[in-house]
Amino acid sequence: MKKSIAVLGLGRYGQFLADALCRQGADVLVADDDEEIIQRFAPMVSCAVKADLNEPGAIRNLGLNDVDTVVVSMGSSLESSIMCVMVAKEMGIPHVIAKAASLRMGDILRRVGADEIVYPEKESAEATARRLLSSDFIEFFDLGSELCVCSLKPKKDWIGKTLRELRLRDRYRLNIVAIRENGKTSASPNPDEPLSETCELFAVTEHGSLDKLF
């Protein structure tokens, strides 16, 4: 079943998000007060609506009742963000994500009902910093405020050793969930198979544990 997601506000972040969701096969509804942007997205998404997102009635008329998640992406407009979050939660939307331009804004949006706050600039900067500081990281994805998924190359002193020997969960709180090698990915890594320098490790860990890898 396709996941249904509404993106309210098509600034740069909202546009990138809506485009990515469409490419990954989601059922996407978008809304913004800019007619030109709405017309551009109309052929790509399931529903594109020009709407004043400061108005509760306009938000209720978007047809959000059947969506799984609402993303409020007007990070520069606190008033519109508050209104969208509040109306979405009043309508019973199970998961409302709100973009925030500052920690203070994020705190306010959480207080009015947002289930999750994202800080795109902060998260992008942190991910870039990790890549700059460690050549071991290949990709990094947030799973919320506490957990993340990362793919990384084995460190030099890991090569030739097994997962059982390395005890990565104990040493780094790093849970290896898959290993890719020679184009093949195993979702059940053999803990007794020595790691090679060409393999790629997929791990789930806590944000605070990443510093131990540097």
Q: How confident is the model at residue 85 (pLDDT cuts 50, 70, 90)?
A: very high
Distance CA 85, CA 82 (A): 5
Please tell me the predicted confidence (pLDDT) of residue 136. Answer: 57
Domain contains 76? yes
- Write down the residue that tokens 């509404």 correspond to: 6
Please tell me the predicted confidence (pLDDT) of residue 173. Answer: 84
What's the domain range around 190? 129-213
Looking at the structure, do residues 111 and 189 belong to the same domain, yes or no? no
Please tell me the predicted confidence (pLDDT) of residue 140. Answer: 58
Q: What CATH number did the domain enclosing 202 receive? A: 3.30.70.1450
Looking at the structure, do residues 135 and 184 belong to the same domain, yes or no? yes
Distance CA 47, CA 148 (A): 31
Does the pTM exceed 0.85? no
Looking at the structure, do residues 18 and 114 belong to the same domain, yes or no? yes
User: Taking a C-beta distance cutoff of 8 angstroms, is the pair 209, 148 a contact?
Assistant: no
Looking at the structure, do residues 11 and 113 belong to the same domain, yes or no? yes
Residue 140's CB: how many other CB atoms inside 10 A?
17
Domain contains 138? yes
Distance CA 98, CA 6 (A): 12
The three-state (H, E, C) secondary structure of 153-177, written as one string:
CCCHHHCCCCHHHHCHHHHHCCEEE
Q: What CATH number did the domain enclosing 66 receive? A: 3.40.50.720
Q: How confident is the model at residue 81 (pLDDT cuts 50, 70, 90)?
A: very high
User: Taking a C-beta distance cutoff of 8 angstroms, is the pair 109, 85 a contact?
Assistant: yes
pLDDT in tens, 134-167: 545 556 565 655 677 778 888 888 999 999 999 9
Distance CA 75, CA 81 (A): 7
Extended beta strands in the chain, E state: 4-8, 27-32, 47-50, 69-72, 95-99, 116-118, 137-142, 147-152, 175-181, 184-186, 200-206
Looking at the structure, do residues 151 and 109 belong to the same domain, yes or no? no
Query: Is pLDDT above 90 for 124?
Result: no
More confident of the two residues 57 and 177: 57
